[in-house]
Structures are given as C-alpha cells and as structure tokens.
Amino acid sequence: MARDARGGIDDSQEAASDSEAGVHFQPDKYTVGWICALKCELKAARTMLDEEHPSLMVQSEQDGNNYLLGRIGPHNVAITSLPQAGTNRAATAAKSMQNTFPNIRFCLMVGVGGGVPSKDSSWNDVRLGDIVVSEPTEQGGGVIQYDMGKREVDGFRRVGTLNKPPGLLLSAMKTLHTTKNLSRAISDLVNDKFMDEEDPDEEWTYPKRARDVLFNTDYYQTTKSIELFVACGAALLLPAIYLQVWRGDPENTRSGLSIILWTCCTMSSAWIAGLWYLRSKPVHRSSRLTNVPKIHYGNIGSGNSVVKDAVERDELAKRDNVICFEMEAAGIMDDFPCLVIRGISDYADSYKRWDWQPYAAAVAAAYGKKLLLTISPVGVKEMKAMRQITQGVQRIENHTKELVRNQQLQEEERYLNWLTPIDHGSKHRDVLRQRQAETSQWVLESEEFHKWLYSPKSETLLCPGIPGAGKTFIAATIIDHLQQQFRDDLDIAVIFIYFDFDRQYEQTADNLVASLVKQLARLRPGTLSHLYQTHQWNQTRPSMEELIKALHTVAALYARVFLVIDAVDECQANGTRKLFLRSIFDLQAQTSTSILGTSRHDTEIQQTFRNSAVLEIHARIQDIERYIDGNMHRLPDFVESSHELSSKIKKQIVNRVDGMFLLATLYMNLLIGQISENDLIEVLSMLPTRGQPYDEAYERCMERIERQIGKRKDLAKRILAWVTCAERPLIESELEHALAVKIGSSGLNKGDIPQAMVEVCAGLVRIEPESREIRLVHFTTKEYFQRTQERWFPEAQYVIAMTCITYLGFDTFQNGICYNIQELSARFELNPFYSYAAEYWGQHARYVSQVQQEVTLNFLTDTSKVQACAQAVNFFGNHNTEEPEGVTGLHIVAGFGLNDILELLLQAGCELNARDSKKRTPLSIATCMGWPDTVRRLLLEQDVEINAIDKSGMAPLTIAADGGDYLVVKELLRYSAIDINIPDKQGWTPLSIAAVNGHTQIVNQLLKSRDIEVNAKDKYGTTALARAVLAGKEEVVGLLLSAVDIDIDHVLLHGKTALMLASMQGNVTMMRGLLDCGADLEKQDNDGTTSLHLAVNVGCLEGVRLLGSGKYRMNLEIRDNFGFTALHLASQAIDWLGERGREVVAILLANGADPGAKTSSGMTAKDIAVTDDQNLLARFQRQVHVAPRYGLGSVELPELHARIMTVRKDTWNILFQRDTWHILRNPTVYRKSPQDLSEVFEGQLSSCLWYKTNPHE
C-alpha cells in the first residue's frame, strides 16, 4: 500500500483498491461532503465522479439524508441532495451528514444561482453560464444572509456576519485563480463529461438553442402596468355590456355588441404589442469572443426566499456588494467549513431561464472537481473533522447562551429588586429550617384544605388560632406543599406574605402589593420592563394604583394563583391592613386566585373573611410529641440515658401546653442547662398550667437569666433590651458592634465584641439562619417585654441613643462623605452598625429627656461626621449615593424634632439658615417632617429666613400646605413676614396646593388671612377653585366659594370655567354649589361647548336635569361651533352611553328641546341617533359627512334603504369606528350632492354585501 508524506497509509489509495475489489466503504473513509439542491445539480455532481461507490450498509439513525458516494481524485466524497431549498434544510442536511461520516473535513455547496448582471462590460460582467465562487470581502465572509437584520425607521439594517471558508479551501481557490486557461479547462471537462448526455430537453454543454437575454430592470413593472390597463379596460366594458345587452333598447343591441367587440380587439392588440415591444428591447451588451465560462469571486447572497425581482436584486446587490443569489449557503456557513460554487442560470429577475440550469450546474460541478484535484489529501487529514468543529461551536454557542441568559436574569432581578427589596423567601426558608420534621401534616389532610386546594373556583380559607399555636409553621408547611405539588406547572403560581410585627415599618400596603407582583413576575420575565423604564426615566416610584394594575396584569398570565398570608393580625391596623386585604380580594374577584390566611382571633379580620371557610389551628398532641422527641438531645445527657425521665418530661409538657406549640419550645428551653436530675424535675413541676401561661413562662426564663453568674446576666439583659427596643430587626454583626460600644469613646475596640449572644438569653432570642437577624422567639415575647420594659431594662432607650451617637462620632468617620460606591460600601462593611445608628439615633433620642452634651456635640458640630451620617441615611433610605454637601447638625436635629439638642446647637453658634445640597434650611426640614414645636423654636430666632425657597421651588409654607400639617401652617402664619401667596415653580400657591390635596383645615386657615389672593393663577392660568374642582374636593370647593373675592367664572385654558369642569366630572354637588353662587350656566368655551353639553357627553342625568329644568334652566338651543345643540350631542352619545344616553335624550325632549333643529351639516337629532336597527343607516349617513345644503332628507333612496336594513350589524361595524363623532360635526368636510351620495351608498353597500356572502375572503 502507498504511504502518505508522513509515513502513514494513503487512505485514498486504499479506498481505490477497495473499490476495485467491489467492497463497501466504511463511513469514516469519506472526508469531503458535497451538497446540492436540484436534480440537475445532483446529476452534474455524479457525472464528475471519477468512481462511484456502492451505497452504505449502515447509516446513522439521526441522518435522514440519501447519499451518492464516490471518489474525485484522491478524495472520497459523500454527495447529498436537499428535499427542498432553503437555509434551514441545508443546515439540517450538513448536521445529519456528520452523524454518518465522522471524518468529513469540509463541504462544497455546488449548484446554480441567480447572477447580478452589469449593463456594461465591467469587471463583474456576470452572464448566464458563468461561475461564481464565494470569496471573503470587506462586507463579509463570502456568503451574506441578506434577509437577516432589523427593519428600522430609516430602512433595513443587516445584522451579523457569516463565517468564511477554511484556509485550505481559500488557498486552493487562489491556486485555481492563478491557473492558466482555467475557464477553457472547465469548458473542456464539461464537454468531455456530458458529450453523450445531450437530449432534446436538456443542454449540458453550452446551450445552442437558449439565448442569453437581459431585460431592463423596469420590465416587470411595465408588464404589470399593461396588464392592469387591460384589466381596467375590461372592467369598464362590463357596465357597457350590461347597459347595451340586458338593459338597452333591443334595436341597438347589435350595434352595441359591435362596439364592444371592436374595443376588446383593440385592447388585446395593445397588450400584445406592448409585450412584444418590451421583449424586443433587451439591454444591449457587447458579445463575448468565446463561450467558455468566466469565473467570478465575491459575495454570494443567501436567504430563504427566491429573488425574482430585478429592482430588489439591484438594491440588495448595491447594499451588500453581492454578485449572485441562492437559497442554501447561509444555513451552513456559520457552523460548518464550506465553500459555495454557483453556476449562473438566470439573472434573479421575473424572467426565469430554466433551459440554462443544466449547463450552469455542469460548470459549477466542474469547478468543484478542479478544486478538489488541487487539494492534497495530507492537508485534508490535518484539518479538524466537521464534527469536532461543530461540537466546539456548539459548546461556545451553549456558553454564549448561558452568558446571555445570566445577563437577562441579572437584568430581570434588577427590575424585581427595584420594585421592592423585600424578600419573603428568606423568611420562608428560615421557618422551614426551624420546623420539626413530619409535623403539621394534619392540615394537608384536612377536608377544609382539600376543598380550598382542589375547588375549581377561587376559594378563601381563614386559619385562626391562639398565640403560639404554630400558625407560622402551618403556613410554611402549606406553602412548601403547594410549591412541591406545582413545581413543574408554570401556569400555576404560589406566592406568599409573612407579616411581622417587627417589620411594620417596611410592610406598607404598596410594598406588600409590590412584593406579590415581584413574586409573580419572577416566572414571567419581561413583564416589569415597561413599568421600570417608565419610572426609571422620570426617577419616580410606581403609585399604588399602578402596582395594583400590574398585580392584576401579571396574575392574569397564570391559570391559577395560590396566595398564602401568614399572621394577618401582625399587619398594621392603621389602614394598611384594610387596603391590602381589599386589594387581594379585588384580585380574587377578577382572576383565578385562591387565598389562605392565618391569624390570631380578631373580630375585624374575621369580619373581613366572613364569607370564607374556616380551619381552626391548634397544636396537635402528635406534633408536640414529635417536637419533644426531636429536641430531647439538647437536654443533659442523664435525660437521654433514662427512658423513665424522658417519658415523664414528654408527658408533663404535653399536658401543660394546652394546644400552644410555643410553650413546648419555652418549656424545653427551661430544662436545658439543668445540672442534676432533681433540679430538672423541680423546674418541670413548676411549669404553669393556667392563667397567663406565656407570662409565667417568660418569668421563669428571666429568673434563669438572673441566676447567671458574672457578666452573662448583664449581657443577656442588654441583648433583650436591644432586640425589644430596636426600630428594626438587627443582624448579628450590627448587634455585636452595638454591644461593644463604650459610650463616650472615640472608636471601637473589637476585643469588646461578645462571642456568645443567643446562649445567655435562656432561649428567648434566636438567629434567623439565612438573614442572620436576631429576633425574639415569638410575638408574645415582644408583647411581654413591652409591658415589663421598665422593670427589666428601664434605661434601654437612653443607652441605645447614646450608643448610636457615640458610634456616629467615632474618629473613623472624620474623613466625611465617600465619593464613590465602592468606598461607601467598604465603610458599611467595616462598620456594620453605622447604617442603623445614622438612620435611627434621633428616634431613640426622642424618648430621652437628656443626653450627654459633650458626646452629642462632638458628633453634631463636626461637619465631616454629620455629612457622612447624612450620606448613610440617603443611601439606605432612598437608595442613592448623593453627596449631601451643606448638611449641618442643625439640619439633622430639626429633621428629628429634637428641641433640647436644637437648643444646644443654637447656643453653640450653628448657622441658622444653612443650606444643604437641595437648598433646604433647618426650618424647611422641620416643616417637611411636621414638627410644630421645632418650627416654633426656630421662628423665635430673629434672622430666620421664613420664606426660603429650596431647589424644588418650595417655601416652608408651601411644604407644610402640601404635607397637610395644620399645626405647622398655623405656626408659620403667626409671623407677619410670611408670604402667604408665595408660588412654586409651577406657579401654585400654598392655597392651590392645600386645595388640590383636600386639606380643608389649612384652606380654611389660609382664607382667614387678609392678604390671601384667592384667584391667584398658576403658569397655566388655573386657580385654586379650578384645581379643587378637578380634584373632586367638594368640601374645599365649598370653602373657596365662601371667599368674598372669588371669581366663579374665571376662564381657564380652552375657555373652560369651574362649572364646566364640574360638569365634565358629573359632580352634581359641586355644580349646584357653583350655580348657587352665581356661576354663568350659559357660558361657552373655545369650542362653543356649554356646561350642559359636557354633562350630556358624560351621561350625567342629574346634571342634565339640574341645568335643563327648574330654577337653573338654561337655553337648550345653544349651539357649539359645529352647530350641535345638547340634544344633537345626546342623540349621538347613545352610541357610547347606551340606555343612559336614551334617558338623557328623553330628559331634554321633556324639557322642550327642539327635535327639528339642524346642525351645521343639516342633520337633526333623529338623523344622528344611533338606536336599534336605525343606527345602521344613521351611522352610515354620518360617516359620509352629509353636506349642510342638501341634508339627508333630500335623498330619496327607499330601495337602497331596504337593502341596507338587510345587512347584519356586525358587518357594518367592520367598516365604521365610533370615535369619529367630532369629525362628523365639521361642516367643511365632503360636500356631496344627492346624486353623489346615491353612488357612494351603492358602492359601499356592494362591498358590504360581498363581505356578507364571502366572510372568509
């Protein structure tokens, strides 16, 4: 056997010998793939084989291709043909080929294509029978997918670039390019191979019968124009035929037919002559001296559709520098090493040339053979197999998809966390970790739960129970069960809320709704992007209304939603609970949402859930026994060694907990740490059994703490004080730093950080495993310590306040504010207690009568430390890193309302009118926070700037009026220097702002001032009265109307008055109040509209009665600028008001409205009315804009009317929209005569009747 250049066996020679022996080749012997699409391409490829091999004995199950096998020179080639054209088919074929032939190195895509011609003999003078080879250019890798891109406002933009052929094929192509007389060699090869293949239908050598004709680009359009002209002429003949033959005079029928025949002949002749003219005018190109094919190199355009339009061909060729078009290559270029070879069989225009395809396929195949003969088999073997390349590409593609997916997840997580940072999932996981295994299963087996879970309707289940019954564990068990049961069903969502008394500060109604939206949107990516982008652009937060709308929208994307709410009683009862529960029950009414809630026994909650099923929660004996058994290992060793003692402990605890799971936990904690069996039995005998079991249990725990030696007792009390009195839950590292602070020190000694916190507290505190928050074991524990705080830790608030102040005054913060997020994050990481101290020190200080002056002034008079503190508050309160330059200690103290400390700072000489970065003074801050005593103290200073304007254009009085702080407003108005009419940036005065917010006390107080300008206008010309009317504040409107100088008929933009605004809203109370005060009821706006028109438009029946009858009766015939009276508008409004609109019409007619009055278009109310079947005719008549000088009554179309009434209403609704009523009132549009109207009616009616009989066309 022959050896290759490296000493190995030459596979090609071995293949040749095997073939001669008549044996089948193994699939791994083939190294070249050859793909074609058409039958003629396959035949051309077969003819070029030097040797044809038998078919495979075995083929991969994943390969659906059919193969023609053979050898070209030293290369074994596997040839396949596509079942259909298209990039996807080509990709599938190439991928399948790898499954059968593992050693194929590259593919040749060989066949015919459409050339891009040139009208002159330029370098790319592509003609029929030429060859085009894909060669990389500046525009791409040789093949360009011309239909892959984006359609933008300014046109199509191509996106992406396909891979280029491998280096071995490019090198061989360049070798062929420089080969002398290559075109002649290809022509000779074709003549030699196909000399015997000639038949009457196919010319495989250069065609003798077919012509190479290139037509003008506008050939197709001109042809279509002629055809359209003839078609129109034929259509025009039909009426003539109808009139002359069927409806004409019989005596003239013969002459009429002669005219028609003559016209048809003339038109046919014109059509034939036009086409002959076009075909006789091809593009003139200079003749070639030889018939050998010319070879072109450049970009080949590939797509999923055939290009058969010369105009589109030229546009794409110009855009992408393409010289040939085809339909397969783009599917394989990116994933498989490939070279594309195309013989030109047409010009990609409307004039296809099928007779050139055999020859074009033959020359392309001949070039492919010449290319393979140029390539060394050694070079082929050194290439990676296609399978290896595609596997590598697949790995890269998978990695890229993973990166994109991760980026999308990060983006989605950013949307979700922007909506709310609250995560109830961590709480849920913490509860599951604490739950004793196999407990609470009775709930899942209960009849009430099964009915709630499996009911086809949206059910509600309330699970009330006494404190400590294990309601939270029950809720966690139910949530976990639902998640497990529906984890594979993406159409079912399980969402939940864990209420927590310690987190009431963050569990507001909008945060709660946002949390539900966040949970639902997590499985529906992209649903929040629009909401996020809208508010991110404006730097705003979603309103409650937007959140509720988003909740309904996202919930509707699921077939079923299960909502579990734990501890409803721990939700704030200040309106938050009521608003939240109303929101979720509204959600249930409109979506498939099932609600389950746990709660203590609470009358208000039970009333809210009055229509719900009820499942009482109490600790089952089996669950308590499981808990005791699962925690027996925590007791001293002598307990586990004594079965009798273990049984006694279990029996005593079970008998004394009385259905309260928490008591079992507390009692077990009391037994932990007992040093002898007798001590344990003594504690066991003292466990409470009646009365206030929790209080007695907590008393026993505190007695145990008191018995601790050394500093353990003091540490336990300090921990309990912090956990009880903190404004929010503290995490472990925060509390460690807080406990290590020495009041009055300048820094933290880490050696003072305690190492054991939970262990010293007798089981009264626990650390949440995931969040690391230190919490009291139960809500009842907090209630106990709130009642007994003065007994156990009376100085708690003082210690906490001074600890915070000391921490904020540490020398480490003397550098002031941080100027980047990395530096700020590092500060919080190194000083974990800093964020809590900065945000809450003032709230603790409010409980203290006196602070240590030296420590306090050390912090508040140091500008750097104060500004660092303000930055921390901004970051955690508003989630921004804004640099709070200009903030002083006086700003911070005024914000907390700390008057005693304020006095210290004023005595220390702090600047009274200092401005922060938002131009706010301490007075502005105190006003904004609503501290009247602090405002009063600042106003005692002679130099205070009482009218200071901040960056948003608001003065202290404006801020107070906006916030509704009546006492603050009252304090400010006591000073004569106050500017009571000071405007903000929009021109709104304090009166306007208070009015629009409905702050009646403030409005009343402002109106008492002699200097008040009650008719002051903002930049849009709107007064306080107009603002109050628009906001629907009836009580405020009443107060403003009582003002002496009020301008009731003040004209706003577009000529509206307050009475018109009230009419637009249908608010009869405000309308009556305005009329009683003398409002002009017949005043018209810029469109001529009156208050009556506006009341009619919204269907306000009481408003129409008020204005159209009785003591306020106005002229009912007043017309707007389009000539519409109130009756005209009411007749038209029936269309959108329905029955209410008919009632309005009845009221107006009963009060004397003229039914015969005509609009500027000559239409009466009856003409306009849309009622029952008559609405079809009336609506159609309005749609064509009847001219005023003719009027509908002038058109006599009884037959047409009868035919219109047979048309179904829904057919007409396809043609007409009901939001065009205002256009119909314009008298200048479409003036038509009765005859014109008749013709229009007939044409439109014919269309409708055609639609009725052809509804699917």
| pLDDT tens figures, 764-811 | 888 887 788 898 888 788 888 888 888 898 999 999 999 999 999 999
Which one is predicted more confidently, 984 or 152? 984
Q: In whole angstroms, give the CA distance from residue 1257 to residue 1253.
A: 9
Residue whose entry in the numeric block shows the structure tokens 């640099």: 883
Tell whether 96 and 204 lie within a shared domain. yes
In this prediction, residue 328 has a pLDDT band, given cuts at 50, 70 and 90, of confident
Q: How far is CA 1123 from CA 1088, 1129, 1162, 1182, 1226, in A?
A: 9, 10, 9, 15, 9
| Residue 32 bridge partners (DSSP) | 77, 106
pLDDT at 634: 78
3-class secondary-structure state, position 332: coil
Tell whether 196 and 309 lie within a shared domain. yes
Q: In whole angstroms, give the CA distance from residue 786 to residue 795.
A: 13
Q: Is residue 825 part of a domain?
A: no
Lowest mean pLDDT among 429-438, 566-575, 865-874, 1246-1255: 1246-1255
Which one is predicted more confidently, 223 or 1244? 223
Q: In whole angstroms, give the CA distance from residue 765 to residue 777.
A: 5
pLDDT at 15: 44
In this prediction, residue 246 has a pLDDT band, given cuts at 50, 70 and 90, of very low
In this prediction, residue 235 has a pLDDT band, given cuts at 50, 70 and 90, of low
Number of structural domains (the chain) is: 5
Mean pLDDT value of segment 719-739: 92
Which one is predicted more confidently, 21 or 214? 214
pLDDT surpasses 80 at 514? yes
Tell whether 152 and 289 lie within a shared domain. yes
pLDDT at 777: 80
Tell whether 268 and 293 lie within a shared domain. no
pLDDT surpasses 50 at 243? no
Highest mean pLDDT among 258-272, 935-949, 1184-1198, 1236-1250: 935-949
Q: In whole angstroms, give the CA distance from residue 220 to residue 215.
A: 9
Which one is predicted more confidently, 883 or 221? 883
pLDDT surpasses 90 at 62? no
Q: What is the phi/psi pair of residue 775, to 5°?
A: -130, 155
Mean pLDDT value of segment 38-65: 90
Spell out the SS3 assignment of 370-394: HHHHHCCHHHHHHCCCHHHHHHHHH
Mean pLDDT value of segment 665-683: 79
Tell whether 121 and 68 lie within a shared domain. yes
Q: Is residue 339 part of a domain?
A: yes
Tell whether 440 and 536 lie within a shared domain. yes
- Domain of residue 267, residue span: 219-279
Q: Which domain CATH number covers 167?
A: 3.40.50.1580
Which one is predicted more confidently, 287 or 264? 287
CA angle 147–151–153, rounded 5-degree value: 150
Q: Is residue 439 part of a domain?
A: yes
pLDDT surpasses 50 at 563? yes
Tell whether 107 and 194 lie within a shared domain. yes
Which one is predicted more confidently, 1242 or 37? 37
Q: Is residue 478 part of a domain?
A: yes
Q: What is the pLDDT of residues 1231-1242, one digit of tens each?
A: 233 333 334 334
Given a contact cutoff of 8 angstroms between Cβ atoms, the answer to whether 46 and 40 are in contact is: no
DSSP 248: S
pLDDT surpasses 70 at 1123? yes
Q: Is residue 704 part of a domain?
A: no
pLDDT at 1181: 41
Q: In whole angstroms, give the CA distance from residue 8 to residue 6.
A: 6
pTM value surpassing 0.95: no
Residue that finishes a domain, picked among 663, 690, 717? 690
pLDDT at 534: 77
pLDDT surpasses 60 at 248? no
Q: What is the pLDDT of residues 907-961, one digit of tens each?
A: 888 888 888 888 999 999 999 999 999 999 999 988 899 999 998 899 999 999 9
Tokens linked to 662: 């928490």
Q: How far is CA 619 from CA 347, 479, 631, in A?
A: 86, 18, 17
In this prediction, residue 261 has a pLDDT band, given cuts at 50, 70 and 90, of low
Q: What is the pLDDT of residues 388-404, one digit of tens each?
A: 666 655 666 666 666 66
Q: In whole angstroms, give the CA distance from residue 59 to residue 66.
A: 10
Spell out the SS3 assignment of 805-868: HHHHCCHHHCCCCCCCHHHHHHHHHHCCCHHHHHHHHHHHHCCCCCCCHHHHHHHHCCHHHHHH
In this prediction, residue 224 has a pLDDT band, given cuts at 50, 70 and 90, of low
Q: Is residue 490 part of a domain?
A: yes
Tell whether 126 and 264 lie within a shared domain. no
pLDDT at 1225: 33
Q: What is the pLDDT of residues 904-913, one digit of tens each?
A: 999 888 888 8
Q: What is the pLDDT of residues 64-114, one digit of tens each?
A: 899 999 999 999 999 999 888 777 788 888 888 888 888 888 999 999 999
Residue that finishes a domain, picked among 573, 593, 614? 614
Tell whether 582 and 441 lie within a shared domain. yes
Given a contact cutoff of 8 angstroms between Cβ atoms, the answer to whether 948 and 979 are in contact is: no
Given a contact cutoff of 8 angstroms between Cβ atoms, the answer to whether 1155 and 1131 are in contact is: no
pLDDT at 419: 85
Residue that finishes a domain, picked among 564, 583, 614? 614
Q: Is residue 644 part of a domain?
A: yes
Tell whether 242 and 316 lie within a shared domain. no
Query: Terminus-to-terminus CA distance in the chain, angstroms?
Result: 72
What is the pLDDT of the chain when averaged over all its residues? 80
Q: In whole angstroms, give the CA distance from residue 551 to residue 582.
A: 13
Neighbours of 428 (CB within 10 A): 21
pLDDT at 20: 44
Tell whether 447 and 490 lie within a shared domain. yes
pLDDT at 465: 84
Q: Which domain CATH number covers 557?
A: 3.40.50.300
Tell whether 445 and 302 lie within a shared domain. no
Mean pLDDT value of segment 356-385: 91
pLDDT at 273: 52
Neighbours of 661 (CB within 10 A): 26
pLDDT at 569: 87
pLDDT surpasses 90 at 968? yes
pLDDT surpasses 80 at 477? yes
pLDDT at 757: 82
Q: Is residue 523 part of a domain?
A: yes
pLDDT surpasses 90 at 124? no
